[in-house]
Structure formats: C-alpha cells, structure tokens
C-alpha cells in the first residue's frame, strides 16, 4: 500500500489538476503496487480538501455499473466518487467546457434518498424503500489522469472521473414507474449517438444504490437522507466539445438538454 505521504502528494496533484483543468500521468505507471484501497484513500484526502475549501457534498456517483461502460473502459468492477454543490446544473444550462478535461457525457438516472441507507447487507428492496424519487440525469465526465492504460485504481483516485451532473425535471417514485424500462435517446447536434435502457445498470438501476451502501459501509460510512445518487450510465460515454448541443429523450421521464460553451 502507498504511504500516507504518497497518498497526500497524489491528492495534491489531483487538486491542482482540477484547479488548472489539467491531466497528470497515470498513478499506476508511477506506483504499480497501488491498490484499490489506496485509490479510495487518495480520493478521501482530495474530498476533505475540497470540503475544507468551502465546497458542499450533495451526493455520490456510481460508475462502471453497466456492460456498455465496462467494455468502453476495460474496467470490470463498479466504483464511486463524490458530488459537490457547484457541479449540479439544470436542464437547459450552458456548461463551460474549459472547466473540464477529456469531456464526455453519460446517460443515467439519479435517486434522491428520503432516509439513510446503510450496509453491509443492503438489498435492492432496501434501496427502493429508501428512495424518495428518481430523476433523469446526464453525467459530465472529467478525467484528470491520462486515459491510455488507466486502471480502476487511477479512475477511483480521480473521483471516479466525475465532473458535473445535469438534472431533468420529471421526478417519479419507484412505485410509479418500472425503472428498468426507462429509455434514453442521446443526441449530439441533432444526431442520435447512443441509445439504452436503464436495466443495463446491473439489471435494475437502483441495484447500484444498494451496492454503494454496502461499499461505503466498508469505509465506515452510510448514505444519508437528502443525498442524490447517480446510479451509473446505461450508454457508452459520448465525447463532446465546445459548441455541442446535447439532448437526451427519456420517454416518460422527459427530456434533458444542455449546451457546451
């Protein structure tokens, strides 16, 4: 495992890359023995620095929960990161492209928790009972570590590549709609680039919420009431550039639109 000094130094590199919108060399190229636990420790130090600097945690993201995403990245286990208040946009927003590195968009559902959810034996039924509502969301990926050859260790340390979230307006309770069948048509500049259905996330998108509750329990934490949980993408990531208009049609759960400027 990495030493506390190494963990703090890498967290500092990532904080500076976040500030300058830069990219650093792969952690695993420099520290080939780094473990998944090391990467979550790096993320934790980075997170605490961000909170100490005034940012407010509003939820967590889960990544790599679908076969589409696992095949796109070559990484076969889910991961998670944190989301801050200054990363949440409403549908219709203009997203500042220069704020991010390696900018891509993913199609997801987000879940607001009505009550706390704790592992280590949380089930899908437990997660559904704790969820207040589901809302469509686009995740903006923001990678501060070079993409070529990266591993799960690199991705987790980089806050699971989370950059921002664009929220839709349609909210549904889990008992109002079969969440497995929520569709998505993701378009860039008027052309459909990706399609998917929410069951692509672990068979049911809320399964990711249960997985997350069990995972954070390993680090002595739980999911809190009011947190917003991004459940993972059910399409491959779509690259975007400045000037791109992005639209995603979620059928009965409405449409999200945004523009990268």
What DSSP designation does 206 have?
T
pLDDT band of residue 219 (cuts 50, 70, 90) is confident
> Which pLDDT value is given to residue 129?
97
Q: pLDDT digits over 42-83, tens only?
A: 999 999 999 999 999 999 999 877 666 666 666 667 789 999
Quote the number of domains for the chain: 1
Q: pLDDT digits over 183-210, tens only?
A: 999 999 999 999 999 999 989 999 999 9
Within a domain: 185: yes
Report CA torsion sign: 136, 67, 23, 16.
Answer: positive
- Domain of 82: which CATH number? 3.90.850.10
Within a domain: 68: yes
Task: Give the 3-state DSSP-derived string for 105-125, with helices as H, strands as E and coil as C.
Answer: EEEEEEEEECCCECCCCCCHH
Q: Please give the residue range of the domain that contains residue 246.
A: 57-260
């Amino acid at each position: 495992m990495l030493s506390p000094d190494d963990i703090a130094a890498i967290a500092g590199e990532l904080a500076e890359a976040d500030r300058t919108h830069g990219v650093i060399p792969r952690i695993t190229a420099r520290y080939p023995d780094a473990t998944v636990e090391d990467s979550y420790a790096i993320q934790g130090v980075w997170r605490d620095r961000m909170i100490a600097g005034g940012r407010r945690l509003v939820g967590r993201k889960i990544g790599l929960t679908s076969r589409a995403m696992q095949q796109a990245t070559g990484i076969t286990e889910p991961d998670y990161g944190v989301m801050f208040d200054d990363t949440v946009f409403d549908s219709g927003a203009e997203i500042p492209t220069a704020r991010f590195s390696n900018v891509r968009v993913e199609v997801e559902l987000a879940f607001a928790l009505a009550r706390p959810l704790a592992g280590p034996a949380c089930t899908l039924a437990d997660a559904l009972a704790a969820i207040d509502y589901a809302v469509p969301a686009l995740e903006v990926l923001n990678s501060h570590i070079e993409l070529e050859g990266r591993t799960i260790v690199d991705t987790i340390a980089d806050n699971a590549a989370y950059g921002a979230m664009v929220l839709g307006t349609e909210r549904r309770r889990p008992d109002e709609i079969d969440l497995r069948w929520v569709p998505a048509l993701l378009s860039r500049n008027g052309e459909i680039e990706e399609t998917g259905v929410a069951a692509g996330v672990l068979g049911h998108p809320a399964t990711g919420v249960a997985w997350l509750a069990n995972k954070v329990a390993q680090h002595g934490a739980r999911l809190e009431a009011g947190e917003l949980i991004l459940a993972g993408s059910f399409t491959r990531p779509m690259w975007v550039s400045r000037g791109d208009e992005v639209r995603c049609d979620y059928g009965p759960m409405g449409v999200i639109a945004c523009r990268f400027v």
